[in-house]
Amino acid sequence: MWCYYEIPRYIREHPYCSKQNILDRIEGVIGREVPTRSFERLKSELFDLGVTVKYDRTKKGYTVEVDDTIFFEGVEDFLELASQFPKFYKSKKDLQKLKKAVRRSPSSDKGAAVRPILINAIIDHRVITFQHLLYQSNEYRTKTVHPYQLKEVDNRWYLIGIEPADEEERLRAYGVDRIRDLAVKKKKFKHNPDIDPDEHYRDVLGIWSGKDYASGEEIPVTDVLLQAPQEIWNWIEALPWHQSQELVSKLEKTVTFKLSIRATQDFYAQVLKWTPKVNVVAPPAVRNAIKKLYLEGLKNY
């Protein structure tokens, strides 16, 4: 079923691509030859759902036209959502009902089409290649990766893996929503049981590694004490920030809690997000770092 949302995405990323380009894309993912009649059947089924895969004779390639009375937040994401509700996956009329009934975060489904493919590659220990967008340079770079895990953080999905060219076998994170041209190779890699993504991220909040961005040095694990009003603690207790979260004391109006973590950028971003309700009590180094970020932010206002 992934073809329903992956093929429109591929055509929109590669305007006026040929039929062979599309077939090669499907074959590269599923690892077997796809007959031409399957492509024609796919076009017909997509048309019934409001997506027209159309051949442009002037430009000699395919484009995608979408019925915008049905789709929102991207045709591929909506088709993936609809696939979870077979009742609403049969006609334009039913899809229109689903559109009125459901709203999702704009970022929640990005990369949804490739997630099942990545999961299969992880389980089967398959080498994968893809193009990955680097936000720093706004450029795509070709990656060859041994995939080990999919990890969700703050409504974003990341592929955790190693690059075979890296002799140190360091785990890296790749934003799934920034992956394109994914291909699963027939070649399998030797899974290293000593590489443990859970252990790698055990002491951090989020996806940022436990190293200081400027110096590259390892950030030590620290017991960080924080305070919050009782009503805010109710939210934090219901959805803990980190697995190490521990209640230290509870007064009439104030709660003190502790995290045993590496104070990375993701941790500081989390504290700032809850400003001014949550504040760092100790240690002084972390408290001062938060204060510095506050003061730098105030310069923008």
SS (H, E, C) 268-280: HHHHHHCCCCCEE
Strands 279-282 and 172-175 turn out to be unpaired
Dihedral in degrees, nearest 10, Cα atoms 291, 292, 298, 299? 170
Residue range 48-66, pLDDT digits in tens? 667 788 888 888 999 888 7
Q: Which residues pair with 204 in a beta bridge?
A: none
Report the length, in residues, of the chain. Answer: 301
User: Residue type for 122, please?
Assistant: I
User: Tokens in use for 150?
Assistant: 């999919």
pTM of the model: 0.67
Q: Where are the domains of the chain?
A: 3-101, 115-200, 221-298
Q: Distance between CA atoms of 23 and 206, rounded to whole angstroms?
A: 38
143-171: average pLDDT: 89
User: Residue type for 210, please?
Assistant: G
Q: Distance between CA atoms of 178 and 294, rounded to whole angstroms?
A: 30
- Please, are residues 89 and 82 in contact by the beta-carbon 8 Å criterion? yes
- Please, are residues 120 and 187 in contact by the beta-carbon 8 Å criterion? no
Local confidence band at 292 (pLDDT 50, 70, 90 cut-offs) = very high
Local confidence band at 140 (pLDDT 50, 70, 90 cut-offs) = very high
User: Tokens in use for 70?
Assistant: 């049905």
The helix or strand, by DSSP H or E, that contains position 174, with its residue range, turns out to be strand 172-175
Q: What is the pLDDT at residue 104?
A: 58
Can you name the CATH fold of 221-298?
Answer: Alpha-Beta Plaits (3.30.70)
- Please, are residues 174 and 180 in contact by the beta-carbon 8 Å criterion? no
CB-based contacts of 75, cutoff 8 Å, min separation 6: 5, 8, 51, 64, 66
Give residue for tokens 């993936």.
80
Would you say residue 116 has pLDDT above 60?
yes
Express as a percent the part of the chain with pLDDT over 70: 78
Q: Distance between CA atoms of 135 and 112, rounded to whole angstroms?
A: 20
Residue range 251-282, pLDDT digits in tens? 988 999 999 999 998 999 999 999 889 999 99
203-219: average pLDDT: 78
* DSSP string for 19-59: HHHHHHHHHHHHSS---HHHHHHHHHHHHHTTEEEEEETTT
- Please, are residues 159 and 176 in contact by the beta-carbon 8 Å criterion? yes
Can you name the CATH fold of 115-200?
Answer: SH3 type barrels. (2.30.30)
What mean pLDDT, rounded, does the chain reach? 82
Would you say residue 71 has pLDDT above 60?
no
Peptide bond into 197 cis (omega under 30): no
